[in-house]
Structure 1
Amino acid sequence: MMQIPKNIYYTKQHLWLQQIGLYDFYVGITDFGQKEIGEIDLIELSTNKGSQLKKGSVWGIVYGTNDTLNLIAPFDCKITEKNRDIHKHTSYVNTGPYKYWFAILTTKTDTVSLLTFQDYTQLTQ
């Protein structure tokens, strides 16, 4: 059965966002996303800490055995932290996708553009 935690946000591109503080979000790949692309071989974060991202811009790629997934900025934001250890443990993302975040994004945008638990459940059925 697919895991979709209720207390976090989602994007149509199969990323999850967990709010930490007022403007910061952990971001990672959803359970559905990791199942779609297969066993993860490589996670490439192409932008640096401090980079400003425009909504819709690609800031990394996740390579799986079946497919690749572009990491797309859900809103205008800044990368305030990158998980430097994520590339050492790519297979962990397959077993615990909501435990392993890729980056921390900071934005002053509200969350209305993000999907709720209900929205994402409908999208993935």
Structure 2
Amino acid sequence: MLIPKNLYYTRNHLWLRKIGSYDFCVGITDFAQKEIGEIGLIEFNVKRDIIEKEASWGVVYGINDTFPLLSPCKCKIISINTFLHKKPSHINTDPYNYWFLTISTSASENEFLTREEYIQLIR
């Protein structure tokens, strides 16, 4: 199972890649995509630009499981990757290059899990 060192993680199996001082790309981990199975549909349920920590912003539907997408922190949504509507199963082949959202937050990286902490979580 692939768990890159240069990312942050959440207990809800999201990864975050820092792309600026306060900005991150957000996607699901390799562990999550394997649990979900082949992904057939991703629904983004974003009603506001600002979302609170743990607020639902979408759902991933796979052949094995349905996976709720919960905000990793209080953040502002910058963009949504609508390309995934056309071919959501791309996440199964390369989960760390297909992101769902880009967000901006003042949350500290200390609020997220390190690679080592995430490995302990999924064991």
Q: Distance in 2 between matches of 1:124 and 1:77?
A: 25
Secondary structure of 2:87's aligned partner:
helix
State the AA in 2 paired with 1:108: S
User: Who is 1:11 aligned against?
Assistant: 10
Identify the match of residue 68 of structure 1 among 66, 70, 86.
66
Q: Give structure 1 stretches of 5+ with no counterpart.
A: none
User: Who is 2:54 aligned against?
Assistant: 56
Root mean square deviation, CA, Å = 1.0
Q: Give structure 2 stretches of 5+ with no counterpart.
A: none
Identity %: 52
Aligned length: 123
Is 2:113 the partner of 1:115?
yes
Secondary structure of 1:86's aligned partner:
helix
Q: Distance in 2 between matches of 1:88 and 1:103?
A: 16
Over 4 Å off, 4+ runs? none
Secondary structure of 1:70's aligned partner:
strand
User: Who is 2:91 aligned against?
Assistant: 93
Q: CA deviation at 1:87?
A: 1.1
Report Cα offsets for 1:36-87 as digits up to 9, x if no partner: 0111010111115x61100010001001111111111111001110111011
Q: CA deviation at 1:113?
A: 1.3
Normalization by structure 1: what TM-score? 0.95
Normalization by structure 2: what TM-score? 0.96
Q: CA deviation at 1:23?
A: 0.6
User: Who is 2:81 aligned against?
Assistant: 83
User: Who is 2:41 aligned against?
Assistant: 42
Q: Distance in 2 between matches of 1:19 and 1:74?
A: 13
Secondary structure of 2:103's aligned partner:
strand
Secondary structure of 1:60's aligned partner:
strand
Q: Distance in 1 between matches of 2:66 and 2:5?
A: 26
